[in-house]
Amino acid sequence: MTAKFDLADLKRRMQGANQSLKHELNGLRTGRASPSLLEPVRVEAYGQAMPITQVATISVPEPRALAVQVWDKAMVGAVDRAIRDANLGLSPTVEGQVLRIRIPELNEQRRKEMVKVAHKYAEEARVAIRHVRRDGMDILKKMLKDHAIAEDDERRHLAEVQKATDQAIAEADAALAAKEKEIMQV
């Protein structure tokens, strides 16, 4: 059986890498409160680890504060522990079933560290996109070798794959630039 070339599938996989990058970048703290800061937090609840969003509602009452409304009174301690153990540099204050979290101001050194982390995430996305490009090119080379397509078609498809790759990498770079600007904004 010969391999099948599907440009739409390659583009979808490249978009997946960019979606993953955007999700990673959302988790980076910029000094402004955002519910996405707590997305990676997993709470030990009812015998299993579950996302914090399944045991509480996260809101932003003011620009530098988060409020976590825990639904089950028995889970308040577990949610508090989970946030503290998540290594986000956040320490909640418990007020009944609500945890209040002040978002500390970022210093210059911490901002630069976060920019480095953002660059690392972006590079991982670029590598993933280039892997998808390589897969597409390998399929085209195999199809040419098996005489499933003509050389002209192969060249045209290779150009399409490269164009999709360039677009996906440009999108990743744009997401990185926006996040870097957001992080460095005082």
* Sequence spans of domains, the chain: 7-26+107-184, 35-102
At 146 the pLDDT is: 92
Written out in words, the top-level CATH class of the domain with range 7-26+107-184 is mainly alpha
Q: Which residue has the tokens 């409304």?
A: 69
151-184 vs 108-145: helix crossing angle, rounded to 10: 170
At 1 the pLDDT is: 45
pTM above 0.85, yes or no: no
Which residues lie closer than 8 Å to 133 by C-beta, 6 or more apart? 10, 14, 161, 162, 164, 165
Enumerate the β-bridge partners of residue 49. 44
- Reading the chain (186 residues) residue by residue, the pLDDT tens digits are 456 889 999 999 999 999 999 888 887 766 677 787 787 788 988 888 898 888 999 998 888 889 999 998 989 999 999 988 877 777 899 999 899 998 877 788 878 888 888 899 999 999 999 999 999 999 999 999 999 999 999 999 999 999 999 999 999 999 999 999 888 876
Domain 35-102 classified CATH 3.40.50.2300?
no
Residue 115: exposure state from Cβ atoms within 10 A (0-12, 13-18, ≥19): middle
